[in-house]
Structure formats: C-alpha cells, structure tokens
Amino acid sequence: MLIKSPHRTLTDQLAERFAERIRSRLLPAGSRLPSVRDCARQQGVSPYTVVAAYDQLLAQGLVEARRQRGFYVRDLTKNKAAGQYGQAQEAIKSIAKEGVQPEPFPLPSGSQIHATALIRGMFHQGSGKPQPGAGVLPPQWLEEARFMPAALRKITAGRALATGSLNYGEPQGDAGLRQVLARRLTDLNIPVHPAQIVTTVGATQALDIVSRTLLKAGDPVMVEEPGWSVEFARLDALGMRVLPVPRRAEGPDLEVMARYCEAHAPKLFVSVSVLHNPTGYCLTPGSAHQVLQLAQRHGFHIVEDDTYSHIAPEHATRLCALDGLQRTIYVSGFAKILAPSWRVGYLAAPADLCERLLDTKLLSTLTTPSVLEQAMALCIDQGQLRRHAERIRLRLAQARERSVRLALQAGCRFVAEPAGLFGWVDTGVDTDALAQRMLDEGYLLAPGALFHASRQPSTLMRINFSTTQDAAFWAVFERIRDQMPSA
C-alpha cells in the first residue's frame, strides 16, 4: 500500500513502483498500464496523483502515452525518435482531461520479453511470501537434501579438488555420471550407452544445443501450446519459425501436426510428454505411436523434455522409450528436484548425432563442471536422490490436495486434471491485469498469456501446488479478483 510520508510523496512512491516492475520486466514491453481512473481506485489516491506518477514515467522514458488508448510500457531495447516525449506530454494531457478509458490494443507478437518476465520472476525475491507463479519447489523442501553437501565434500577431499579444478575435464561430461545416467534411463525403458549421453549446464542448455545443431535460421519448429515460454522465446531468438501445436490431454493435436508437416516440412518437434508444463498432462501410448509415425514419415526429429521425470508417475509413456532413440532426443536435469544452482543437465541422443551435439557444446561452453557432476553421480549411485525424490512426491501430493481444495473454494476451475507440480486454472478474469494487481499484494502470478507463442488475453493461470497451500493467498486472490470485471 502507498503510505503518506514527509520524505516520499504518493506520486513518487507510485512512479517508483511501476518503474521497478518495468526495469525488472515484470511489466513487459507493450503492457498497458491501468487507466488513470482504475489506478486511482486501486491505489486509493487521486487521479491527479496517478497523472503525476505517469508523467514521471514518461520523463524517464519508461512508458509512452497513446491518445485515447492509454499508457504503454516502452520497449527499452529500441531507440525512439527525438521529440517523442513532447508528443507524449500532449497525449497525457488529452487522456487526463478527457478521462478516456483505454480500449483493447493488441500487444507485440514476439515472445522474448514475456519469457524473460517469467525468468526474472523466478529470481524475484518480492515480499518473502510463497509465490504462486514460481516454477520451482520451495527452498525449504530442497534443503532436506543434506546428502548433497556431504557428497561434494567427499568428492573434493584431498587432491580431488585440485585435480577437478585445474583441468577442463571430459568434453562429453564426467564418465561416472554418464554411466549412472545410462542406468537410470534404462530403468525408464530407454536403452542407452554412456557414449550417447552429453552433460550440459542444465536442461535449458541441452535444448539449446539440440536446436543449434539440427536447425538453421528460418527452419520451422513445432512446439506444444500452451507451453514453456522460454522455449518459444529461445527458438524465436535463433530465427526459427515457431509452429504452435495445441496440447490435449492425450497428447499433441495430431491433425494440426499433420497439416504443418504437409505445408511447412518442420525439422523438429519439442515436446514435454510427462507432466506437461503448464497443464500436467501425460502422453498416452496411442498418441505417442502416432507422433512417431509422423516423425518417420516426414523426417523430423523429436526432442523430449523430461524435466519433471523425478516426480512423474511410474511407467509414464515416453516417446524415447517407444522409439529407442532413433528419431528422438531425450533431455532432462536436476534443477527441479535437487539443486537449481548446480545447473547439471544432460541429453541422450541417437549415436550418429552425438559428435555433432558435442561439437556444439564445445563451441558454447567448452565443457561442464566435473566436480559438481561427480558429486551428482555419487548422490544418484548411492540411492540418495531416489529416496529424496520419493519424499518430495509424497509431500507434493499432500500439497496438491490442499491447493486444489483452496482453489476450488476460491471459485477457480481446473481445465486440466491436477497432476505434478503445476495446476492450470481458469480464474474468470484477465490474468495479465490480475497479475499486476496481485504484485501490489506481494504475490507473483504466472498468467496464461506467458504460455503461448503469441501473447493473447487469457483467463487462465498456472499455479505451483507447493506454493499455493496458504489460505491467506487465496483470500487476497478472491478480494482482488472480485474487484475486476469478468472476462
């Protein structure tokens, strides 16, 4: 809440609040600020205070005013022509005088800004409250993995630290880690030799290595929608043509994929088969079989992102298991379940692609930290990771039950059966606007627009079951939502 103070005016406080969100990209480029009237009502201040605050943002070059439309966050990566501020001053006077409510305006179709807003939210400390839009488990849950420091101490004892630190290590990744990963994948019915595994700096780099190896600028790539906005943005930044494929409960929309194959000859399909983000869907065997038939018929590769494998149900269907790593590439890591900061990930690929993938890794990072990889191998080999994952699954199931109950009591509707870490819920209001209002209360949301290749208004949002067990959050959510018009 804004508080009157002899040291900071309400105008300055309001301007600083918006400026901080714009610079941190929690308000991405192209976002519309609340109208003068709406903002004054939300913040409990006069319209004059809002106009003065917006004027400060204009002077700082953070927003622009569009006549009879409202105030929009500027793209800070682009230079604007001189004299724009003078034009904006005239526009703000017109808007303030006329009291015109902003009309709907299409936002940019690019996805990078929206993805970075989500990423920055991952690092956003905010109020210290549990964050419903977070993409990871709470630190308190991960702190229980006390075996990790012990493994690191054991690996770095004596001469091992110097040995592991004073050379680059194995380009393909620590041999011991690749051996235990091969055994783990075999347990998932994905037969693989350690020579087919390349370690990476997290699963995100693994996805990037695959894209840079198999694609060139302009190539069409199929990606599930809704989906991970970082993947949309990353492919867009590489110059790829993103072809969004609707994700259904049983798997991707096969008719849409078939049309893309006939019209665009895509080179790659990126899929989260198990505990899909954000819906929680798991691929069915029938759908998986048809996806692999399409890949064989039209000659594209499939990269299967299995980031949530450690919390997935047993015997979940994976494309790589059915395909035997012929046209498929498996990607996973440990950030979600164990050590976000260690950034240990990996990919498993067909044997004839491994050298090309390794070349791309060498060009981007040379190698990966062998000391951390050896410690991770020890945690896996001694069964500590498996036991930790079992505890997390049990705790997450309990959290999911509580979160679902609270969400339903708050009037939300689940559009997908709750599973895994995330829930995909319909709020009945514009979640972009809802997210900005909830920030005022100290809560970071993940609005539905973040999970589409092109930004579009949405009443959906993704919630993290591990961080939405607090009834206090849902009480605030209901209060704010009920103040908003229905979508």
Q: Which of residues 350, 382, 414 is at a domain's end?
A: 382
- Give the whole-angstrom CA distance, residue 186 versus residue 293: 23
Same domain, 322 and 436: no
Residue 106 lies in a domain: no
How much is the pLDDT for 89?
47
Tokens 């893309």 correspond to 260
Domains: count for the chain: 3
The CATH number of the domain where 245 resides is what?
Answer: 3.40.640.10
In this structure, the answer to whether residues 444 and 363 fall within a common structural domain is no
Domain boundary among 352, 382, 412: 382
Asked, for residue 140, whether it belongs to a domain, the answer is no
Residue at 458 is within a domain: yes
Of the candidates 382, 402, 436, which is a domain's last residue? 382
Are 455 and 336 found together in one domain? no
Whether residues 372 and 325 share a domain: the answer is: yes
Residues 6+ apart with CB under 8 A from 53: 11, 12, 14, 15, 18
Tell whether 53 and 157 lie within a shared domain: no
Q: What DSSP string runs through 274-286?
A: SS-TTT-----HH
Is residue 219 one of the residues assigned to a domain?
A: yes
Domain shared by 392 and 378, yes or no: no
Instruction: Let me know if residue 433 belongs to a domain.
Output: yes
Residue 230 main-chain phi, psi, to 5 deg: -60, -35
Same-domain check for residues 186 and 296: yes
Total count of residues recorded for the chain:
487
Cα gap 472→207, rounded to integer Å: 38
395 domain residue, yes or no: yes
Would 423 be classed as within a structural domain?
yes
Residue type, 239: G
Query: What is this structure's pTM?
Result: 0.81
Q: In this structure, are 279 and 159 located in the same domain?
A: yes
b/e string for 102-114 if b means 16 or more Cβ within 10 A? beeeebeebbbbb
- 323 and 462 fall within a common domain: no
Q: Which residue has the tokens 């964050």?
A: 131
pLDDT at 117: 57
Q: How far apart are CA 469 and CA 399, in angstroms?
A: 6
Comparing CA positions, the residue from 48, 80, 62, 47 lying closest to residue 17 is: 62
Q: Are residues 273 and 357 in the same domain?
A: yes
Domain at 120, CATH number: 3.90.1150.10
The answer as to whether 237 is a domain residue is: yes
On whether the CB atoms of residues 426 and 412 are closer than 8 A, the answer is: yes
Predicted confidence at residue 80, as pLDDT, reads 44
Gap between the Cα atoms of 452 and 438, Å rounded = 21
Residues 164, 34 share a domain: no
Positions of the chain with pLDDT under 70: 1, 77-127, 158-166
* Residue reference for tokens 């018009």: 485
What is the extent of the structural domain holding 77? 10-98
Do 325 and 196 contact (CB within 8 A), yes or no?
A: yes
Task: Identify whether residues 181 and 255 lie together within a single domain.
Answer: yes
Residue-wise DSSP of 147-190: HHHHHHHHHTTTTHHHHHHSS---TT--HHHHHHHHHHHHHTT-
- CATH code (residue 42): 1.10.10.10
